[in-house]
Amino acid sequence: MDSTQPVRRFRRYRTDFRVKVHFTAAGQTQSIIARTYEMSPGGLSVYAPTEIPADAEIKLDLTLPGDHQTMHLGAEVRNRIGFRYGMEFQPLTREQENRIRSFCSDLT
């Protein structure tokens, strides 16, 4: 293993579904529709049609494919490449964590 590569806590899975992203920066709240690119039990990456400031407070409305119940999650931008944003989930409830882990395990 290359020691210059960051060690990941979770395996990433390729995904492609819509997620609603609400973010507040400089006192202004915006809502956009983004598309997921990768997901893990710890977070996801999305392609967003607009810039999301690094210090923005983020809320996600996430409906997993095959599920009809929307989860409302907090997230934090951890990295950015162009308009692809890597986001870490903020503390999840046990139910949210179980649903996300189950979804990810079905992708293997």
- The per-residue pLDDT string of the chain (108 residues; one tens digit each, 9 = 90 and over) reads 555 666 667 889 999 999 999 999 888 899 999 999 999 999 999 999 999 998 888 999 999 999 999 999 999 999 999 999 999 999 999 999 999 999 999 987
Q: Are the C-beta atoms of 49 and 32 separated by less than 8 Å?
A: yes
Instruction: Say if 61 falls within a structural domain.
Output: yes
Instruction: Say if 54 falls within a structural domain.
Output: yes
Determine how many CB atoms are found less than 10 A away from the CB of residue 63. 14
CATH number at residue 59: 2.40.10.220
Q: Which domain holds residue 84?
A: 13-102
Which are the contacts of 33, defined by CB distance < 8 A and separation ≥ 6? 18, 19, 20, 21, 49
Instruction: Say if 68 falls within a structural domain.
Output: yes
Instruction: Say if 7 falls within a structural domain.
Output: no
Instruction: Say if 3 falls within a structural domain.
Output: no
Instruction: Say if 55 falls within a structural domain.
Output: yes
Domain count, the chain: 1
